[in-house]
Amino acid sequence: MNRGNRVWGIIICALGAFYLFEGLNLPPAAIGDPLGPLTFPTILGVSFMACGVYLAIKPGPRPTQPALVHRYFLQVLMLFALLLLYSASISWLGYLLATFLFVLAGAFLMGERSWGKGVLFSAAFSAGMFILFVRMLTIPLPFGIMKMLGFR
Amino acid sequence: MGETLQQLIFGFSIALEPINLLYAFLGCLVGTIIGVLPGIGPAGGMALLIPLIYGKSAASAVILLAGIYYGAMYGGSTTSILLNLPGEAASVVTTLDGYQMAKQGRAGPALCIAAIGSFIAGTLSVILLMFIGPPVAHFALQFGPAERFALMVFGLSTVTSLAGSSLVKGAVATLLGLMLATMGVDLPTGINRYTFGIDKLMEGFDIIVAAIGLFAVSEIFMSLEEIAAGTLEQIKVTRIWLSMKDFLDSLGAILRGTGLGFVVGAIPGAAHVTASFFSYTLEKKFSKNPENFGKGEIRGVAGPESANNAAASGALLPLLTLGLPATTVTAVLYGALLMVGVKPSPFLFQKNPDVVWGLVASMYVGNIMLLILNLPLVGVFVRILSIPARWLLPIVLAISFVGVYSVHNSALDLVLASILGFVGYLMRKFDFPLAPVILGLVLGDLMEQSVRQALMISGGNPAILFQSAIAKTLFGLAVFVVVGPMMLKRLRSKEL
């Protein structure tokens, strides 16, 4: 028996319930649109919950991947936090600066040990990306506080 | 037959004019670059470059834009294979086995077969376009809302039944994709669904954001875990070029993918993603060793990549034969044709033979150019993998995020991609397949709209869904692929 799958069954059930609950405020079917905006999501939510119930009752075989190990999972969570931080800061730090900091922190998280190499590498990379995307391909990436530093 | 050949020769005389050759080359080059960079996609890339066609002749304009289209379809496979980073939705399928091949040091053969498969599919489908184009276009146009709905149901049921170890987990993944697809403005009524009061979510959940998050970002989480555990091995490139055996193994998959892709590509709305998913499931179903799929099976790259490119030609069919744009890309092409003074209509072949035949001939030329352009690059691309993981992984994340950001110019999409990356990581750890989420997200909207349109037409009578022979067949097949394997299993266990 497999506890992980049971837990997932319950989580899926809860998500399905939340999805159905969120759909409750949608208007029902109207004339000319027999199904209306609610029918399809309701079918999906109910089926999703049914799958969750099934998994909780009959969890099936153990996953083939190695189980979550606390210490490694912590690293994964750190990278997740780093990604969120990068996403949140890109608008005000600007693409160039945010990417520099992100790649530097990322390289250290993934095993880089030398400050000199790390800084050099992430500076070269973020500058290269900036030139390629912003200058050459003119993709509108955010400038943020770099505008104050004279970047246009 | 003789007439077609004559017109093709006329087409070549246009496509081989030096200036048009230059446009074809430019288009292929820019298209490849756009394809390699995630997020922009063929339609976006073509739209970006539309200003370039001002004042050009109609034939040149079409040749340039078609080059971009083809090049982008080619380039999309590169990052999928090397970095598990799908630049557009259709490349998601390529990651399944392509990235596994790269991990085993066989990135070179994977890239080669993608290029060669695309070349064969591109060339053959142009021939198909010339000879059986009109009947296929008419078949495709029989797909009304009810038939489209049946096709979506069939597509989702095949992917659900084939992916992963457990049917329930496949269903969870498919439903998750469909649920994500319901986010945003509901088109028939104009009300917001599941936007949680956030304006940016009104546009709906973008496929690129989901594909990059679920595939590329989650892969980095997996790698990081392996780094922490000390089990991540540096990829050793075993060979760069394709062996004859690999090629012969894949040839059947390429030909099947071409035929399938061409027909599915012509069906309005279904497009490349469905074609490549269908090809993958077809190959897996009819393979002698289906368990190899998902673990670096070269046919799992060859088939979908060919289908993808054949679908690109198939999608041109309704535009060229009937004057109807069936996909976003052909809609951009439609707009471009109008700009240069050509009105797409069922009479395009008679009124503007230079455009049609010039385009057809330039497809041959473009396919050869792309092969020449891409094969030498294989060696260069493969070298990317020798960058140490501690540098490569942050780079991949940073490049992915440019792709995600450029979809709507919104940092919110970055947050969504990060969250989906984490969700994808958890799904991988617990054996939930990822590919059905993407197919669900791609097809969900269309599926819901089709069934609602069908019922609007019939005034709420569900019988309309099962009226035509096409729909009945597709529904029958959908039930069969889910129930069939279960019945077989039961029968076998009774015999034993």
For residues B469, B440, B173 and A39, what is the CA-based torsion angle, rounded to 10 degrees? -80
Q: Pick from A120-124, B66-70, B148-152, B157-161 the range whose average pLDDT is largest.
A: A120-124
Report the pLDDT averaged over residues B181-187.
83
Tell me: the pLDDT tens digits for B326-350? 677 788 888 888 887 787 777 777 7
Among residues B255, B280, B257, the alpha carbon closest in space to that of B436 is found at B280
State which H helix or E strand residue B224 sits in.
Answer: helix B218-229
Residue B471 has pLDDT above 80, yes or no: yes
A44 within 8 A of B175, measured Cβ to Cβ: yes
List the beta bridge partners of residue B193.
B184
B477 within 8 A of B153, measured Cβ to Cβ: no
For residues B179, B184, B189 and B190, what is the CA-based torsion angle, rounded to 10 degrees? 180
B107 within 8 A of B115, measured Cβ to Cβ: no
State which H helix or E strand residue B85 sits in.
Answer: none
Per-residue buried b or exposed e for A42-81, using 16+ beta carbons within 10 Å of the residue's own CB: eebbebbbbbbebbbeebbeebeeeeeeeebbebbeebbe
Tell me: the pLDDT tens digits for B94-124? 888 888 888 888 888 888 898 888 889 888 8
Contact partners, residue B280, CB within 8 Å, separation at least 6: B93, B96, B293, B300, B303, B304
State the SS3 of B307-319.
HHHHHHHHHHHHH
Q: What percent of chain B has pLDDT over 70?
A: 95
Cα–Cα distance, B256 to B120 (Å, whole number): 11
Residue A1 has pLDDT above 50, yes or no: no
- Rg of chain B over all Cα atoms, to the nearest angstrom: 22
Residue range(s) defining the domain that contains residue B165: 2-495
Residue B92 has pLDDT above 50, yes or no: yes
Q: Closest to A106 (Cβ–Cβ): which among B225, B397, B431? A: B397
Among residues B408, B33, B66, the alpha carbon closest in space to that of B209 is found at B408
Q: CB contact, 8 Å: A22 with chain B?
A: yes
Cα–Cα distance, A41 to A30 (Å, whole number): 16
Mean pLDDT of chain B: 82
Q: Closest to A107 (Cβ–Cβ): which among B390, B417, B428? A: B390
Q: What is the DSSP letter of B293?
A: T
Token couple for B230: 């000390």
Tell me: the pLDDT tens digits for B444-468? 888 888 888 888 888 778 888 888 8
User: Contact A40/B448, CB-based, under 8 Å?
Assistant: yes
Tell me: the pLDDT tens digits for A89-108? 988 888 888 999 999 999 98
Among residues B393, B384, B309, B240, the alpha carbon closest in space to that of B94 is found at B309
Range name among B81-90, B158-167, B473-482 with the lowest pLDDT average: B158-167
Residue B230 has pLDDT above 80, yes or no: no
User: Contact B189/A122, CB-based, under 8 Å?
Assistant: no
Tell me: the pLDDT tens digits for A38-57? 888 888 999 999 988 988 88
pLDDT at res. A2: 63
User: Contact A30/B189, CB-based, under 8 Å?
Assistant: yes
How many CB atoms neighbour CB A38 within 10 A?
20
Residue B45 has pLDDT above 80, yes or no: no
Instruction: Calculate how close chain A gets to B172, using CA atoms only, in Å.
Output: 6
pTM above 0.95, yes or no: no
Among residues B55, B449, B141, the alpha carbon closest in space to that of B325 is found at B141
Contacts of B225 in chain A (CB under 8 A): 72-73, 75-76
pLDDT at res. B246: 83
B477-480 long-range contacts (CB < 8 A, ≥24 apart) are: B477/B154, B478/B150, B478/B153, B478/B154, B478/B157, B478/B158, B479/B157
Q: CB contact, 8 Å: B491 with chain A?
A: no
Q: Which of B156, B183, B397 to mutate to test the interface with A (most CBs of A within 10 A)?
A: B397
Q: What is the DSSP letter of A67?
A: P
Residue B487 has pLDDT above 80, yes or no: no
Question: Binning pLDDT at 50, 70 and 90, where does residue B211 land?
Answer: confident
Q: CB contact, 8 Å: A140 with chain B?
A: yes
Question: Binning pLDDT at 50, 70 and 90, where does residue B270 land?
Answer: low
User: Contact B217/A83, CB-based, under 8 Å?
Assistant: yes
Q: CB contact, 8 Å: B394 with chain A?
A: yes
Q: Closest to A110 (Cβ–Cβ): which among B171, B186, B227? A: B227
Cα–Cα distance, A68 to A8 (Å, whole number): 14
Q: CB contact, 8 Å: B255 with chain A?
A: no
User: Contact A79/B221, CB-based, under 8 Å?
Assistant: yes
Inter-chain CB pairs, A–B, below 8 Å: 164
Residue B56 has pLDDT above 70, yes or no: yes
A98 within 8 A of A86, measured Cβ to Cβ: yes
- Residue B210, classified by CB atoms within 10 Å of its CB into exposed (0-12), middle (13-18) or buried (19+), is buried
Q: What percent of chain A has pLDDT over 70?
A: 91
User: Contact B394/A102, CB-based, under 8 Å?
Assistant: yes
How would DSSP label each residue in B255-283? HHHHHHHHHHHHSTTTHHHHHHHHHHHHH
Number of residues that make up chain A: 152
Phi, psi of B184 (to 5 degrees): 110, -175
Report the pLDDT averaged over residues A105-119.
87
Query: Which residue has 């095949």 as its token pair?
Result: B158
Range name among B15-24, B128-137, B272-281, B405-414 with the lowest pLDDT average: B128-137
Report the pLDDT averaged over residues B80-91.
81
pLDDT at res. A132: 79
How many CB atoms neighbour CB B331 within 10 A?
16
Beta strands at B192-193 and B184-185: parallel, antiparallel or unpaired: antiparallel
Token couple for B52: 């370039």
Token couple for B129: 């376009």
Tell me: the pLDDT tens digits for B283-303? 887 788 778 888 888 888 899
Report the pLDDT averaged over residues B234-243.
73
Range name among A11-25, A112-126, B36-50, B206-220 with the lowest pLDDT average: B36-50
Token couple for B79: 């990052």
Among residues B112, B77, B79, B71, the alpha carbon closest in space to that of B250 is found at B112
Cα–Cα distance, B51 to A78 (Å, whole number): 45
Tell me: the pLDDT tens digits for A16-42? 999 888 888 777 666 667 777 888 888
Question: Binning pLDDT at 50, 70 and 90, where does residue B495 land?
Answer: low
Q: How many domains does chain B have?
A: 1
Q: What percent of chain B has pLDDT over 90?
A: 5
Token couple for A30: 């109207």
Q: CB contact, 8 Å: A55 with chain B?
A: yes
Report the pLDDT averaged over residues B217-230.
86
Contact partners, residue B216, CB within 8 Å, separation at least 6: B38, B83, B84, B85, B86, B396, B397, B400, B421
Q: CB contact, 8 Å: A150 with chain B?
A: no
B77 within 8 A of B272, measured Cβ to Cβ: no
pLDDT at res. A140: 76
Report the pLDDT averaged over residues B136-147.
79
Query: C-alpha distances in angstroms, B104 versus B110, B131, B344, B390?
Result: 11, 41, 48, 19
Question: Binning pLDDT at 50, 70 and 90, where does residue B144 land?
Answer: confident
Query: C-alpha distances in angstroms, B134 versus A89, A100, B263, B492?
Result: 53, 54, 12, 45
